[in-house]
């Protein structure tokens, strides 16, 4: 009985020593990787916000052409409102929140795609220098969004691996502070920025 008790005490003591030795390293590394990922999420949101900031100018310019489809503009405004209404705490991104965020942003992407699809029908708008620059800036912003999303996934991967590998996964069970983060999974076809290939020099 005494021998069994001694063995138990020895095991507990050993675990305590091991935890004391590797616990702080696990914690500090997890904090560092988590902070890197959450900081990158801020860059993702910033890129999407840049796109949202461009939309009012694009819409207002297009409104100057009375014949332009007002329904298209209305849908863009509504989609922008929905997309900008979703705020996510980067330190606690849940799968549900990320899915909701992605759905709203995809809705705005679809609305903008409809705008670009009908753009060619309006030669006067097509010739507007301000509108041309806005559309070009939109393309650059879409490229930036894609870059920042990929970078976010790249920062999430080492954080998740740190939490899931042994013995970190055991330590984290006791710490109970860190949770794996979800990757940004773009919808099929949205991994590339929309093409904006207008022949602005063409005579109409």
Is 189 part of any domain? no
Q: Tell whether 121 is covered by a domain.
A: yes
pLDDT band at 13 (very low <50, low <70, confident <90, very high): low
175-183's contacts with Cβ under 8 Å and 24+ in sequence apart are 175/23, 175/26, 175/27, 177/27, 177/30, 178/30, 178/34, 179/92, 181/34, 181/37, 181/93, 181/156, 182/93, 182/94, 182/95, 182/98, 182/156, 183/153, 183/156, 183/157
Considering the domain boundaries, does residue 186 fall inside one?
no
> How many domains does one find in the chain?
1
**Position 147 in a domain:** yes
Range of the domain at 121: 24-86+93-175
Structure confidence by residue, pLDDT tens digits, 40-89 = 999 999 999 999 999 999 988 888 775 667 888 899 999 999 999 998 88
Greater confidence, 192 or 140?
Answer: 140
142-166 tens-digit pLDDT: 999 999 999 999 999 999 999 999 8
DSSP string across 137-185: HHHHHHHHHHHHHHHHHHHHHHHHHHHHSTTHHHHHHHH----PPPP--
Give the tens place of pLDDT for each residue, 105-139: 999 999 998 888 887 788 888 788 888 899 999 99
Rounded Cα distance between 121 and 6, Å, is 85
Q: Is the dihedral of CA 67, 70, 72, 73 positive or negative?
A: positive
Q: Is 113 contained in some domain?
A: yes
Closest C-alpha to 41, from 155, 138, 143: 155
What pTM was computed for the model?
A: 0.79
CATH number at residue 168: 1.20.1440.20
Evaluate whether residue 199 is within a structural domain. Answer: no
Structural domain includes residue 134:
yes
Q: Is-contact 153 169, C-beta < 8 A?
A: no
Cis status, amide bond into 137, omega within 30 of 0? no
Q: What is the pLDDT of residue 51?
A: 95
Structural domain includes residue 182: no
pLDDT bucket at 193, cuts 50 / 70 / 90: very low
Q: 């904006």: which residue's tokens?
A: 196
CB atoms within 10 A of CB 107: 16
């Amino acid at each position: 009985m005494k021998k069994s008790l001694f063995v138990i005490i020895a095991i507990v003591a050993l675990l305590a020593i091991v935890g004391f030795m590797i616990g702080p390293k696990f914690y500090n590394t997890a904090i560092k990787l988590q902070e890197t990922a959450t900081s990158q999420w801020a860059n993702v949101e910033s890129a999407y916000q840049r796109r949202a900031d461009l939309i009012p100018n694009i819409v207002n310019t297009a409104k100057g052409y009375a014949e332009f489809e007002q329904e298209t503009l209305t849908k863009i405004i509504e989609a922008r409102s929905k997309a900008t209404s979703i705020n996510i705490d980067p330190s606690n991104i849940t799968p549900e929140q990320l899915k909701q965020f992605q759905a709203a942003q995809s809705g705005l992407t679809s609305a903008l795609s409809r705008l670009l699809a009908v753009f060619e029908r309006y030669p006067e708008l097509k010739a507007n220098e301000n509108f041309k620059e806005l559309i070009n800036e939109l393309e650059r912003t879409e490229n930036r969004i894609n870059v920042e999303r990929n970078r976010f996934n790249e920062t999430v991967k080492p954080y998740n691996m740190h939490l899931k590998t042994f013995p970190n996964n055991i330590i984290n069970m006791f710490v109970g502070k860190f949770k794996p983060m979800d990757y940004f999974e773009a919808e099929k076809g949205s991994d590339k920025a929309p093409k904006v290939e207008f022949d602005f020099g063409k005579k109409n």
